[in-house]
Amino acid sequence: MPLSMSERERYRRHLALTEIGEAGQEKLKAARVLIVGAGGLGSPAALYLAAAGCGTLGLLDCDRVDISNLQRQVLFDSAQLGQAKATAGCERLAALNPEVRVIAHAIELRAANVREVFAQYDLVLDGTDRLATRYLINDACVILRKPLVSAAIHRFEGHLMSYVPGQGPCYRCLFPQAVDGMVANCAEAGVLGVLPGVLGTLQATEAIKLVTGIGEPLLGRLLTYDALEMRFSEFRVARRHDCAVCGEAPTITEPHDAPSRAAAPAGVRRLEVAALSEMLQRGEQPLLVDVREDAEFAAGHLSGALHIPLGQLPPRLAEIASRGDPVFICRSGGRSMAACQMALRANIRSPANLEGGMLAWAASVDPSVHVL
Amino acid sequence: MACTVRIASPLRSYTRGAASLTARGNTLAEVLGSLEERCPGIRFRMIDEQGRIRPHMRLFVNSSEAQELTAEVNDGDTVHVICALSGG
């Protein structure tokens, strides 16, 4: 795919690199790259890949631009609040580089559409904020034989690893199984705004290397970054022969929608927000234990709730046991489920999990409560 | 034997925010036991009821992955606790 005169001017600094040159820039022009998640990671990755002349760039996200996104999602600006991220992001990319063909996918990635979407691309970048979607992307890339550059972030820490079919371990080799709620996400735990800037830029770097075939891709190596200590570390990761998707006898042969939440273990009561609301209106006084972090609790909580962040819960379980059957509460129901499991192990007989957490409470019972 | 344990970001609520701690032990199991004494509850986030490393966790002794809790730990080693991250 030859370069035009204007492209030669635009990419002059790339053409000056012997490792890229005209042949590499033509490969970039022919490349079709999909970015799943137009968030903190997807923003810098998309900007740099558009600027670099990646010929076709897809942006997939079903969310809308919220003011709390702008602290780190540099693809958007204040004039775009409320707009669909996929289309707003593509507008910005097209303005940055009109030579690039941008495609907005304002949809949620599901097993039902992943084949159709991925068929349009040669390389996928994972910048999503749900583990269930991470596994869907990984499994689809393995099954459809697409290279994948995966990154993830939490507070001040980030991870990066690349996958090329047949050449190394996949994301499921790295972490065979995880469900949302085991780990607090950025909305729950907070994130340093510039952190995804570092990781998303590294994702774009890997994408350019994979497209042009230069350098040593991050295959079979997990790169970790700790922004507070300014420390990069690297860990060798081997392919698992028993990997459920890329192993020798795979049990996952079709992309599927993983449950986004862990099933409740025996002994845990599932308490819907409407049921809790009725209990409180009847004058009952269940022991409410909010296991969110300090800032989340300070922003808004249920009246009378005892505040014990999940990390401080184990030594205080005896105190809870002496006060009755607890109802554990968090933002969306994941950490509170972990608290229920801890309570069961501490012989608290009937812990309850507030299903959907404070988000469900705000959506269904009291919209005035502020949930971080 | 004393070693350094580097703690994954999602588990630092157990360590009062500390990124690394000193622990003692000749095996990974002993090191995690030592860590549990100082940070109650942290071991359960890494190890399940059957004593297996949870599938969303990876443990490394220096740069070598430890797949079993019997993995040897020597004086001055660094144990890295890596946890799947979900944020994007």
Q: Which residue has the tokens 């001040």?
A: A156
How many angstroms separate the Cα of A371 from the Cα of each of A83, A185, A297, A299, B30?
Answer: 22, 14, 8, 6, 40
What CATH architecture is A269-364? Answer: 3-Layer(aba) Sandwich (3.40)
How many angstroms separate the Cα of A279 from the Cα of each of A274, A283, A287, A328, A363?
Answer: 9, 7, 12, 15, 18
Residue A319 is predicted with a pLDDT of 86
- Which residue of B10, B19, B64 is in closest CB contact with A184? B10
The conformation of residue A2, written as its DSSP 8-state character, comes to P
Q: Looking at beta carbons, which residues of chain B come within 8 Å of A151? A: 88
In this structure, what token pair is assigned to residue A223? 């790169």
Q: With an 8 Å Cβ cutoff, is A219 touching chain B? A: no
A 77-106 → B contacts, CB under 8 A: none
A319-371 pLDDT, tens digit per residue, is 888 888 899 999 888 789 889 988 998 888 889 999 989 988 988 899 888 87
Report the residue of A43, A109, A157 to disrupt the B interface, i.e. the one with the largest count of B CBs within 10 Å.
A157
For the beta sheet containing B2-6, the strands, ordered from the edge strand earlier in sequence to the opposite edge, are: B20-24, B2-6, B78-83, B57-61, B64-66
Contact B53, B46 (CB under 8 A): yes
Q: Which residue has the tokens 């997939």?
A: A60
A95-150 pLDDT, tens digit per residue, is 999 999 999 999 999 999 999 999 999 999 999 999 999 999 999 999 999 999 99
- Which residue of A154, A238, A311 is in closest CB contact with B87? A154
Q: Work out the minimum CA distance from B10 to partner chain A, whole angstroms.
A: 6
pLDDT (mean) for A169-196 = 82
pTM: 0.81
Q: Work out the minimum CA distance from A372 to partner chain B, whole angstroms.
A: 15
Catalytic residue among A170, A186, A246, A340: A186
**CA triple B29-B34-B40, angle to 5 deg:** 105
What CATH architecture is A31-236? Answer: 3-Layer(aba) Sandwich (3.40)
Residue A359 is predicted with a pLDDT of 84
A60-70 pLDDT, tens digit per residue, is 999 999 999 99
Measured between alpha carbons, how far is A336 from A344 in angstroms, rounded to an integer? 12
A148-161 pLDDT, tens digit per residue, is 999 999 999 999 99
Beta-bridge partners for A191: A155
Closest chain A residue to the Cα of B57, Cα to Cα: A175
- Report CB contact under 8 Å: B82, A235: yes
Q: With an 8 Å Cβ cutoff, is A237 touching chain B? A: yes
DSSP three-state, residue B64: strand
Residue A288 is predicted with a pLDDT of 96
What per-residue string of b and e applies to B48-74 under the rule 16 or more CB within 10 Å gives b? eeeeebbebbbbbbeeebbeebebebe
Residue A263 is predicted with a pLDDT of 63
Q: What percent of chain A has pLDDT over 70?
A: 96
Q: With an 8 Å Cβ cutoff, is A314 touching chain B? A: yes
Measured between alpha carbons, how far is A331 from B43 in angstroms, rounded to an integer? 24
- Report CB contact under 8 Å: B13, A293: yes
| Alpha-helical runs (H) found in chain A | 5-10, 12-15, 21-30, 42-52, 85-96, 111-118, 131-144, 171-174, 186-189, 195-212, 273-281, 294-299, 317-321, 334-345, 357-364
β-pairing, A157-163 vs A269-271, is unpaired
- A101 versus A182: the higher-pLDDT residue is A101
Q: Is the pLDDT of residue B2 over 70?
A: yes
What is the 3-state secondary structure of A219-272?
ECEEEEEECCCCEEEEEECCCCCCCCCCCCCCCCCCCCCCCCCCCCCCCCEEEC
Equal fold, A31-236 vs A269-364: no
Q: What percent of chain B has pLDDT over 90?
A: 66
- Average pLDDT score over chain A: 93
- Report CB contact under 8 Å: B40, A309: no
Per the annotation, the verdict on A170 as an active-site residue is no
At residue A181 the predicted structure's pLDDT band, cuts being 50, 70 and 90, is low
Domain ranges of chain A: 31-236, 269-364
How many angstroms separate the Cα of B66 from the Cα of each of A239, B61, B71?
Answer: 15, 6, 6
